[in-house]
């Protein structure tokens, strides 16, 4: 059983809010690296604590790309390009983390960027 993000429509981009700078543009063709950079920028704007293993060669395989913490919430997020496949070890981590009801677990792709903005900039919103 997988877990995924879902793009939420109708929410204005963050640069339309007076208290935020314009974030990088994310397109469906964005590389995973560019997408990651955009998500980290949004998390920083939302004042989340951010953990990302920049060199995962000595880490356990499959551990999610980002761990975000704020106000008692913990998010584990695996980021992929729009068509990037998820590896077995990554899916295993996501499935096991999802069994813990006290954390949020997501597989995010560029198409989810509106929902990611909403989630990270408004702590009451959860992507379902």
Q: What confidence tens digit (pLDDT) does each residue in 21-64 have? A: 444 567 777 788 889 999 999 999 999 999 998 877 778 899 99
Query: For the chain, how many structural domains are there in total?
Result: 1
Question: Could you tell me if residue 16 is inside a domain?
Answer: no
CA distance 108 to 4: 6
pLDDT at 11 over 60: no
Q: Identify whether the C-beta of residue 44 lies closer than 8 Å to the C-beta of residue 50.
A: yes
Q: Is residue 8 in some structural domain? A: no
In a domain, 9, yes or no: no
- Domain assignment present for residue 18? The answer is no
Q: Would you state the structure tokens that stand for residue 76, as one six-digit string?
A: 């584990």
CATH number of the domain within which 68 lies:
3.40.1350.10
Cβ neighbours for 98, distance < 8 A, ≥ 6 positions apart: 1, 3, 105
Determine the structural domain holding residue 107 and report its residue range: 28-121
Global pTM reads 0.75
């Amino acid at each position: 059983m997988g877990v995924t993000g879902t793009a939420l429509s109708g929410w204005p981009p963050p640069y339309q809010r007076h208290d935020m700078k314009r974030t990088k543009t994310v397109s469906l063709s964005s590389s995973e690296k560019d997408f990651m950079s955009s998500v980290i920028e949004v998390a920083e704007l939302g004042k989340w604590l951010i953990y990302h293993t920049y060199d995962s060669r000595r880490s356990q395989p499959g551990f999610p790309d980002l761990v975000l913490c704020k106000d008692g919430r913990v998010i584990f997020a695996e980021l992929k390009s729009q068509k990037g496949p998820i590896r077995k070890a990554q899916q295993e981590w996501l499935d096991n983390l999802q069994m813990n009801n006290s954390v949020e677990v997501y597989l995010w792709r560029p198409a989810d960027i509106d929902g990611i903005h909403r989630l990270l900039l408004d702590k009451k919103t959860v992507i379902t």
